[in-house]
Structure 1
Amino acid sequence: MAVENNQINTDILIIGGGSAGVAAAVASARMGVRAMLIEKGPFLGGKATRAIVSTICGAYFRSEGAALRHAHVGFPKEFCGRLSVASGTEPFTYVEGLRFLPYDHQAFKLLCDAYMLNEKVQLFLHASLSSVGMENGIIDSVDAIALDRRVKIFPKTVIDCTGEALVATLCDLEVLKDETYQASAMVFSLTGIESADFENLSLSVRRSMKRGVEAGRLHPELEKLSIIPGSLKNGSAFFKLSVSRAISDELNKATELELFAREAVSAVHTFLKAENGPLKNAEMSVVASELGIRTGRRSLGKYILSESDVLNCVKFDQAIANGVWPIEYWGHDGNVNMDYFNADDCYEIPADCLMSADLGNLYFAGRNISASDRAIASARVIGTCLATGYAAGKMAAGSVLKRDANEIIQEIKSELLNV
């Protein structure tokens, strides 16, 4: 893809380099079309690396049995396998038969980089979307700021993997939104921990936080602190502090939340060093570079995935991904509500959840697929995002190649859902 006068022609433009965006780029490139990905940050991985989520959920079926069953074959399984090796981790079994993969966030970054290089995706880091041009019901141009200069891109198709329905918003299209969204979380790690027992340390931390709030030494908003399962090893662990303040679409709300979260992490660390025995010598090692905001605006597709679809494990003729994670909804009291469907089963996400209801060449994947607030509380997890991203990339490439859409969907089912 030659760049002339800061103008670029490409077959597929992917906006957002999180799990879904990386998967979409890989799928597009493997179909033999020109794929370009723009990412606003300095590295790939999205929430997985910037917010250090630390676990891949949605990659395995929930089961009380001993056997591990992948939610998808093909690229999602490939990605998790490579990440497991690079991180030196294995899938972790948790409560209610939930399985997830702990990972090293630096390994996640490097794996995403490797995919972009190996698949010859044209990657622009430090590149932000600024405007979208439309004509006759399709996107015909996109303006971006690539670090310090303007770039105009002429794509044949666009895939929105921003997690915020940014393309639809800039096009003034209808989006799915709520007055407030799920509570967020800030992740940080401590070293020098004098305990190797996850359960005992978790209980000790919960008790310390509760006593601190009751004694007036900690603000009540800071009580909900947990250790990320699977992260405690060699005297280090990752912690997740629930940030109960309301999240909305209000202008600049994210800045307020980021400032509060960083100060909160510092206060919690100082308190635990003084009040918790196993953490008396613990030092801060890593603080996530951004707050872990779980959900936001979603794109309006040809179908809206519903809570009923999720809980009843509904299947679709044109399915392109499996959902295996329960509805995980974090309230503003810092508590989580888990709504489970049957173990060893899944719901399916149809292709229409990834296709714009308004624009003929706009697709989406990841946290901003067409889904209700309750449905996205399940479908937002990384394992599912890898699948919807790959599916969106393949569907978009099929459109560019003028392949039959139903044929492409059947190929996706064969590649991903033959579990």
Structure 2
Amino acid sequence: MALSAELGRSGDPAEAEPTPVRVALLGCGTVGSEVARLLTEEAAEFTARAGAPVELAGIAVRRPDKHPELPADLLTSDVEGLIASDVDVVVELVGGIEPARSWLLTALRSGKSVVTANKALLADCSRELSEAADASGADLYYEAAVAGAIPLVRPLRESLAGDRITRVMGIVNGTTNYILSAMDSTGAGYVDTLEEASNLGYAEADPTADVDGYDAASKAAILASLAFHTRIAASDVYREGIGSVSAADVAAAKMIGRTVKLLAICERVVGPDGSESVSVRVHPVMIPRSHQLAGVGGAFNAVYVEADGAGELMFFGQGAGGAPTASAVLGDLVDVARNRAGGGRGPRESAHAGLGVRPMGETPTRYHISLQVADRPGVLAQVSQVFAKHDVSIAAVRQRDKHSTASLVVVTHAAPDAALRATVDDIGELDVVHEVVSVMRVEGEDS
């Protein structure tokens, strides 16, 4: 009895203090500084949530002298040395492919778990990272890589793991959504609206990654990989930006009860033989104003998911910014710390389906085509013949006469994108067609 009592006071493992989970933070910009602040100021709260103390062991920055707001003893410019030290988790907020790839592979191969917000790296190197994590038993978490604070990665790879997802479609870039929303509300052109977005801080000094669709394509690759249990790289994603969207396009959409959005669209496509493949694309579309995504304005993000069992789901919220993104990073960090404290492991990569990626030309889409044509009999018949030649069915036609020309708008039923492109090319060669004013894909309606 005396021996048991003595063990209960000092030797019982249940009474022992949990081992701290030591964190290395790589990068301390807008998001990193918020992560560092919260880990420091709310240490007791994170200990309670994780079941073990979560300690910030070091912060790797390029120039430590530029961060007087942070404890000097935590700062270092030696990234490799910090990763090699006695840390348990590496939080990467630097971005880019290299050297982030090498850093994280080193960490994972040595058994250190990783939390990252690096969508470009995940879209290009998820296989390497996942295999390194599997080999060492480390965790790889990346909720913040897609849609900022919106819980999206975790529902796709955990909550919906028992369901069959058929489609993921969403607004995943706040800069382009702000620009298109402003063009819709003000009638201004793309160039002027981009300048305004830059002045307000919604667009980077070099907005290429956003406005040309690269950022959204990386996120689409991650979403499609999770939804369809298939490895999808950014290079597999068809991509168009918003630079060609004109005020006239937005006005035309408005006239027919639609609005223009840059969407990431990931969907299962069933071929004529019944086989499944995956279509992953990013491009501007016209969607009905009644659609759930149409009312998402400003710099907000939203993702719409369709699944056999769960039906239609909508995820909405802040897609970027220091505090929202830090929220997602810290959520991942708590999960990793819980796994470390409890001896568990997080979810692993699921790529068992191995579906093929359908080329954009074979993907069924719908077009909204605006033409300036001669105002004389037989024009519509000639235009219709071109559609019939390419086996493209017309869903609706609207015509408005003006002097010697007419404005003709054609909306198609679904057809392979290559057939629709060929149709537009041939229509442009007709003598009765003065100009193909605009061409834009249509989503959100039955075909």
**TM-score under structure 2 normalisation?**
0.28
**TM-score under structure 1 normalisation?**
0.29
Higher CA-based Rg = 2
Between 1 and 2, higher relative CO (CA 8 Å, sep ≥ 6) is seen in 1
- Structure with more of its chain in helix, by fraction: 2
